[in-house]
Structure 1
């Protein structure tokens, strides 16, 4: 059947077992168009000179995972066009002699064998080889001449061996090498000049679970290096000298060693890397260095920063002020519980933020972070139980959110988050429908989005009804009080002031300074000075207190009035139409009325200059009608008998303060003394 397949180019013969022993490969190679043969996983053990004799047209041969420990010297001689040879996953202890002289070979894969040493002739004649994989063997040292024939080699993987020295093996004829992988070798001592001739190298991997001794200048000569992966016990400026084009740097740090940056000269460690775009800092030890705020100084083109177990509990707010182009930031396993929003202000172009595996209880700091371009936010494995849904309104470009493995609370305090996850059409919430409740205990295990939030909202219609009703009632009540009770309230207010003053004067026992305080309107001042004052003070000798004459300048008017009333035995109110319309006159009679009411003393003498109908009296006087007095005088009714009028006033001033009889003073029927 194989012989009739004239166009066959690729053939897989894996797991064929006995069919291989019965000549299946020989039959397959009779197909003239066959170019690729996969004979892996057939447990050959050894390959003799005849097994592949008919396969001269092959360009690719896969003999991996065949438990091979030997290839005869001439087993591959007939395959004159072979370009790719895969021998990985076998038990070869040394490089087979069969590969020497394969002048067309471009790719040779020998990883995952037990090769322990290389000599100077192993790769003799492989002048076109571009890719050599020796990963995961047992090679402990390299002779200087081992790669001398590999002038075109571009990719060399010699990681996961036991190398501890190079012996300048990389400085001989490897001027075309672009990628060198030395990861997981022994404790390498990297000296100045070890890579000095690798001028084309763009990728170098020195990551290891053991930390290398790297001396200053070890990377000199790597003028075109773009990616460096390194395990080290120090990170300082001189270490990275000679790497002007480096764009990607990954450091696996061990702070449990001799030198921490905080013990060094303090110069920013990456200031020799002006073109660095991606920086990855991973701490492989539980100890931490002091991270200085100028850590990233000089990295003005940095776009990606990945840190793991590097920062400890806090990040200085000035850390990112040197990296204005930062687009992606990861800070994980750092025990962070809070970040200052100012930390993010210098990086407004940030698009991706990963704060997983920390201890954040809240995301409120993001609301002030000004991350207008952030599209991806990852917060897995934190302590987020209550998240304010409005936080995400400050992230207008957010399209990806991961909150997995947080102890969410299923309560009304999280109703905003619940509603936002259910209703937003812009952001993909990863596994949102799988989030479960951690609190309260009654909700544990239930799905977060199944929590009914409707009980958390107050009915908006009912709230509007209550608000509008309260406003209407308040408006009506205010109008009613103003229209019907404003005078009563004012009266009560001034009674209260008088009460306070009365208590103070009683405690002091202050004697009376005047026989009477005269309360009058300014329009009636002429009558007071022309008629009343000459008689009562000039003829009868009474001491009177008058506004313009006896009030203390600079003292509040209410205080002057109060002291005048309580500093006089009597108060004479000269009542007229003008008096009733005067605010200050009304206050004076109110305070005098309170003294009458409170002390039960007949201190008030009402003197009407005009006949005033009862209905025109202000509400103050209608209230006063409830208080019975016995002194009520009318100037118009005195007529020509003014002598009798002044005698009655004199008698009123002489009258004892405890009343013996009562008269309705403010009705329409006055009674004269």
Structure 2
């Protein structure tokens, strides 16, 4: 790594996932403001080069160095040297492969205050260890320490870290707190033993830690009955965390039975345990306790004076009980000094007078959490919280409110913050003409069903005192509604998201359009409707569209009817014949209406009008005069009086076979093509008895033929007309024609 250019005001240097083959001693020479260097997941050939590069700094600064994920296994005195002016105060060696921690290697870092070796493989300290003075914080989380392999004291009782204030040995394998392990840490203030294998807590083993203030033992295996051996607490201990252990069904034995021995404990965390009953037998000595956390236990009943033995209790969290709290006695919270009470997620039903008096013994509660319970009756809620004359913060999230609780704002003039999120409050409940004063500074009413269809956001008596308002995730209308445009114009962007000098919390991400559908999830910030956008459409447009669609439909029907007019006439003809047949069957007098189905002609001739002379002349003479077959030729036999189409169809039905005169003229004759289609249908209906024969007059132009004609010529019997009847071709033609028109081979 080459030296960086001069005149760079760099304070932090990070290098991640690089291959550092060489780091020059002058790498950071021109970084006078540098105070943090982090090298993680890199490949470094020589770890000493990092310390040499830092030592070259010319300014007197306190430096933080992080070397993470480098698979370092060992350190020596030669690796860690800081001869320069910079002072290394924070050293992080997380995610390496260090198995033994030798404090002698850090002895030269006489300004080192914080050392972290998290997620290594450390099982203990080296035998050649030396005392590290000045070190304030040591983080040994996620290693392999056990009570058998680690001790923070020398054999003569002196401390390995005489100035240590914070020691974190969480996520290790310590199963027993021995006196010999920590007794020498006279200045230690915080001991974190989270997630170890501790089963028994003997207070006598830590009694000697005279400066200890915070003892964290969460996520271990301590039980109430046999896991705690009462004794004298460390003289300055004021915070004990026993959350997520196996405590239960009673509160843990923190004092000898009915002992009133004094201690300084002020905060006790018993969250996430199995406690089902509150007793005072082994907790009477906690006379200075101010904060008690009992969330996520199995408490179902709170009897009278459940916490009366804790006279200084100010904060109580008893929320999220596994099966909910089924009974709260009227004097359960008999604590005059109680300031904060958390009862959320306990399946409480606020209805009637069942919970009416529970807050009478603790009138000084200022912060009350009742979220995720069920308020069935707003009057019952008011009766319950009325004794709390000094209430400043009230949380009612997800309690099923359907109306805006104006009475709370009117009655509690000390209330500063109220949370009404995730309810079913609608706009109509905000439209109130009540006149009152309010002292609420912060109102949260998000995730409700508010639709702002009037020129009002929050009633003015409340708006007058508000400083912050969270009203996001409601049903904002982004149409051309006059009230919606008014609301958007009232929201100012500078300062960001203000409505009548009230700051909108969560603006702009939490404020999205709900109506109309095409604007859904659009940020209200981007909702800008102009007069042109909101111009009302012409009311006659639907009429115009209806008329246009009707005319288009009629045009299509007429076009299709004209295009298929002959087919329509054909099916109409068949329908009339069917009706006549049914009428004649029921009434013999109408038999004359039937066209008799007898076959009058041997063949019906289909031809183009340009070939009429040939059909009436030479072809007729051959077929009728020489071969004695009777033909129906329209120009000769067409009937007069009936509809032309009916005459065609009757004549074709009265003929046994169909002859088609094929020339170039017929290819462009749509009427002839229709007659051929009818003949083909007749051939199918008679199972092939009504035959078809093509009389080809001349050499045909195949380039102008349709594919349908090519298929007809290939699949239908045909013969080429020959003027010389006595020739071979003429005789063949005559024989083919005769075989089609009669039922025998001639």
Distance in 1 of aligned mates of 2:72 and 2:196: 31
* 1:376 matched residue in structure 2: 442
1:443 and 1:33 mapped to 2: Cα distance? 59
Matches within 5 A, 1:399-478: 399-410=467-478, 412=481, 414-415=483-484, 417-421=487-491, 424-434=499-509, 435-441=511-517, 443-448=519-524, 450=527, 452=529
Could you tell me which residue of structure 2 aligns to residue 176 of structure 1? 236
Q: 1:359 corresponds to which residue?
A: 424
Q: Which runs of 5+ in 1 are unaligned?
A: 458-673
Map 1:102-121 to 2 at 5 A. Answer: 102=159, 103-121=162-180
- Determine the C-alpha separation between the residues in 2 that align with 1:111 and 1:448: 47
Secondary structure of 2:306's counterpart equals helix
User: Whole-Å Cα distance in 2 between the matches of residues 345 and 218 of structure 1?
Assistant: 44
Tell me the residue number matched to 1:267: 330
CA–CA distance in structure 2, aligned partners of residues 192 and 54 of structure 1: 43
Say whether residues 1:188 and 2:248 are aligned partners.
yes
Structure 1 equivalent of residue 97 of structure 2: 44
| Equivalent in the alignment of 1:548 | none
Other-structure match for 1:293: 356
Aligned residue pairs, count: 452
2:319 aligns with 252
The 3-state SS of whatever aligns with 1:318 is helix
1:276 paired residue number: 338
Cα 1:184/1:173, change in 2 over 3 Å: closer
SS of residue paired to 1:14? strand
Pick the aligned partner of 2:68 from 15, 22, 32: 15
Q: 1:240 to 1:163 in 2, by over 3 A?
A: same
Aligned position for 1:345: 410
Contact persistence 2:100–2:126 (CA under 8 A) = no
Q: Alpha-carbon deviations, 1:194-221, whole Å to 9, x = none? A: 2454621111111116445432455422
Tell me the equivalent position of 2:265. 201
| C-alpha contact 1:421 1:432 (8 A) present in aligned 2 | no
Give 1:70 shift.
Answer: 1.2
Shift of 1:186: 1.8
Report if the CA contact (8 A) 2:251-2:275 is conserved: no
Q: Indicate conservation of the 8 Å contact 1:380/1:404, yes or no.
A: yes
TM-score when scaled to structure 1? 0.59
Partner of 1:303: 366
Matched residue SS, 2:394? strand
Q: CA deviation at 1:110?
A: 0.9
C-alpha separation between the residues in 1 aligned to 2:278 and 2:365?
25
Alignment of 1:44-63 (within 5 A): 44-47=97-100, 49=102, 52=105, 54-55=107-108, 57=110, 60-63=113-116
Q: What is the rounded CA distance, in whole Å, between the counterparts of 2:459 and 2:238 in structure 1?
A: 45
**Partners of 1:116 and 1:369 in 2: CA distance:** 65
Change (3 A) 1:343 1:373: closer
Asked if 2 retains the 8 angstrom alpha-carbon contact of 1:17 and 1:42, the reply is: yes
Of residues 288, 296, 306, the one that matches 1:224 is 288
Cα deviation 1:318-374 (Å, max 9, x = unaligned): 222111211111111212212553344331121211111112123635844845211
Q: Normalized per residue, which structure has more helix?
A: 1
2:80 aligned residue: 27
1:37 shift after superposition: 4.3
SS of the residue 1:145 aligns to: helix
Q: Deviations over 1:386-414 (max 9, x none)?
A: 46544331210112111222223345384
Structure 2 residue 466 is the aligned partner of structure 1 residue 398: yes
In 2, are the aligned partners of 1:70 and 1:96 still within 8 Å (CA)?
A: yes
**Superposition map of 1:60-79 within 5 A:** 60-72=113-125, 74=127, 76-79=129-132
Query: Separation in 2 of the partners of 1:309 and 1:203?
Result: 26
State the distance in 2 between where 1:295 and 1:453 align. 56
Residues 281 and 340 (structure 1), Cα distance of their counterparts in 2 relative to 1, 3 Å cut: same
Given that residues 57 and 81 in structure 1 are in contact (C-alpha distance below 8 angstroms), is that contact kept between their aligned partners in structure 2? yes
Instruction: Kindly indicate whether the alpha-carbon contact (under 8 Å) linking 1:113 and 1:137 is maintained by their aligned counterparts in 2.
Output: yes
Cα pair 1:75 1:98 within 8 Å, conserved:
no
Q: Are the aligned partners of 1:48 and 1:71 in contact in 2 as well (CA < 8 Å)?
A: yes
CA distance in 1 between counterparts of 2:66 and 2:178 reads: 33
Instruction: Find the aligned partners of 1:192 and 1:49 in 2 and give their Cα distance.
Output: 39
Q: Which residue does the alignment assign to 1:612?
A: none
5+ residue gaps in structure 2?
1-51, 493-497, 535-746
1:164 match: 223
Q: Return the structure number with greater relative CO, CA threshold 8 A, min gap 6.
A: 1
2:382 matches 1:320: no
**Secondary structure class of the residue paired with 1:28:** coil
Q: CA RMSD in A?
A: 3.7
Whole-angstrom CA distance in 2 between matches of 1:129 and 1:372:
49
What is the DSSP-based 3-state SS (H/G/I as helix, E as strand, rest coil) of the residue aligned with 1:428?
strand
Say yes or no: does 1:136 pair with 2:195. yes
The equivalent residue for 2:145 is 92
Alpha carbons of structure 1 residues 64 and 190: separation in structure 2 relative to 1, 3 Å: farther
Task: State how far apart, in whole Å, the 2-side matches of 1:230 and 1:413 are.
Answer: 51
Question: Are the equivalent residues in 2 in contact too, given 1:314–1:339 (CA < 8 A)?
Answer: no
